[in-house]
Chain A
Amino acid sequence: MNTGPELDAVPDVLDRAAGMDGTDARPACNVVVADDGFDPGAVELSDDGYAGAGAGTVGRLAAAVQAVERTDAALQYPDPSLVASGPWFVLAPLSGDVSTVHCGTGRVTIRAPADPDRPDAGIDRLLSGLLDAARPRHPAYPVEDDRRGVFTTGLTTYSLSTVDVEGKMVTVTFDVVTTPATRPGAVRTRFGAVDGVSAVTYEPLVGVERADPSPGLRDAVETAHRTVLGDACYEWVPEPTVFSRIPGPEKMALGTGAPGDQSFGPEAYARCVDLLVESIRATEVAP
């Protein structure tokens, strides 16, 4: 039987979150939840917590509401005013880690002549070659089985996006997650070597964001994590979020839950509240 904190119903979370942006006061800091366009209607509250696609986002939003009610902070929801002053805390699925780096995105477009005699077979062969080229590789680490992203979070990764056949050309696009080590030339070479490919173009979309917060903010967040979890580890967020759009260096991301989680229980909620409350309070007393 669940004995954790009682969670609010999803509509109540959204209602409460919408009135906490601190327009009537001068908050010490701002909180925003990385929400990746989730559908609140897909999330339900059960005895085990929030469940469904977007459960983690709702859970972190609920945690933000609770934390902001207990501190002198503003919750920027649903339309964050990214120019608001003060340090920013971005809640993201970080499994209790801290983040100052969000990966970027790009798109790679590959063109190849279609085989007019055997179009299906030609496309199958082309796609097979491209998907093989897109697989993560590393000489020492088991990156192909790395479901938790222990290693692949630091690699340039590719996911098939579109396949179009128009006239005598096949066009294939891959979405790319980029790191500080991503080089357009290396991306082009990776796919250009596939048999049948005639042209490869790479287009960067969102750059890697690396914040450089003040020592005071960094210390506050690290201390909060050591207090609540016993350790303060840094990890990257493997996609751009609202974090990347907040101007200035005074921002850090934190939070519980993992990317894509279909559930977010009372324990993850309680830890997320504690991490955020402790971080905000430590920031308020930092010199």
Chain B
Amino acid sequence: MRTLASPVEGSEVRVEPTDSPGITINGIPAGLASVCKADIRVDLAAGGRRAFVVEHVLGPLGLHGVTAAAVTGSSTEWEFARPEHRFCYSTDLGPSAVVGHPDGLPNPALLEALGDAAVLEEGPTTRTTVTDPVRCATNGGRIRLEPRDYGAGVRVEATFGDATVTAEIDRGGDTDPALLERIAGATTPYLSPTDEEAATHALADLVSDLVVLGGFDDVAVTVDLGDAYHALTVGVARKAHDGSLVTDREG
């Protein structure tokens, strides 16, 4: 379990350390069972609460290897150009239910704050992978997960349009700082000027959906991203879990 030594803040959110494993957003557990929407964005819902665009928070936490945290939305201002804010206004939720970055970025302020924060590590080092290759295809995209050795981390090869990017994500929080900097400045595909930037942004989304929500620590990911690709990434994680193709290993 890896948590923060002290709270940090990013755009739209405050992140606090916790004593028990797992990440919550506005009190909702960040896991596949809580995912109520996975297409152009990922929303979580439980107990009458809902958190919108969670990938912009879970991506930075996953990239820095944080596995235990309580995230709270901090936005108090309405921005009705955002569809998620209109949703919240329509259903009597406040703007703090939206934790996604207003400019479609993977929360660069949070990425920086997490990079500067001290992280406490304790407990067993159980790591999760798939037992066999898992494939999924939807919305014009396709994805494949393959097992990796214990401690190998997450390797991603992601294609969006004409661009392909590769990355090694270390679950111990030791991912290449230059890669994190590129990800921090990459806008969501709907707003991206280039395929390269969209694919780079997608790396954070893949970490959100596969590493944090899906729980995979050691896995090789090959993905050709289509439209509304969270259906693909959350879909393959669900397929692996539902098909009992997931295994935990001790170091």
Contacts and interface: CB of A to CB of B under 8 A. Distances in A.
A154 interface: yes
A140 B37 CA distance: 24
B81 A138 contact: yes
B90 A140 contact: no
A141 interface: yes
B40 to A, nearest CB: 10
Interface string B23-42: 00000000000000101000
A239 interface: no
B81 A143 contact: yes
Interface in B69-120: 78-83, 85-87, 89-92, 102-104
A155 B81 CA distance: 6
Nearest to B78: A181
A180 B80 contact: yes
A138 B81 CA distance: 8
A238 to B, nearest CB: 11
A181 B80 contact: yes
A101 B89 contact: yes
A140 B104 contact: yes
**How many A residues touch the partner, as a band?**
20 to 34
Interface string B169-196: 0000000000000000000000100000
Scoring B39, B91, B92 by chain A CB atoms within 10 A of each residue's CB, the highest score goes to B91
B90 A150 contact: no
A152 B89 contact: no
B86 A234 contact: yes
Nearest to A98: B90
Contacts of B191: 140-142
Nearest to A236: B86
Contacts of A138: 81
7 contacts: A140-B191, A141-B191, A143-B81, A154-B83, A181-B80, A210-B90, A233-B87
A279 interface: no
Interface of B: 37, 39, 78-83, 85-87, 89-92, 102-104, 191
Nearest to A101: B90
A274 interface: no
A155 B80 CA distance: 7
Contacts of A180: 78, 80, 89
What is the predominant secondary structure among interface residues of chain B facing chain A? Answer: loop
Contacts of B87: 233-235
Interface of A: 98-101, 138, 140-143, 150-155, 179-181, 210, 212, 218, 231, 233-236
Nearest to B190: A150
Contacts of A235: 83, 86-87, 90
B44 to A, nearest CB: 14
Nearest to A142: B191
Given A181-B78, A231-B37, A140 B86 contact: no
B80 A154 contact: yes
Given A140-B103, A231-B37, A150 B89 contact: no
A54 B85 CA distance: 30
Nearest to A154: B80
Contacts of B81: 138, 141, 143, 151-152, 154-155
A234 B90 contact: yes
Nearest 10 interchain pairs by C-beta: A154-B80, A234-B90, A140-B103, A151-B81, A234-B87, A154-B81, A100-B90, A101-B90, A154-B86, A236-B86
A139 B103 CA distance: 9
Given A180-B78, A212-B92, A101 B86 contact: yes
A151 B85 CA distance: 11
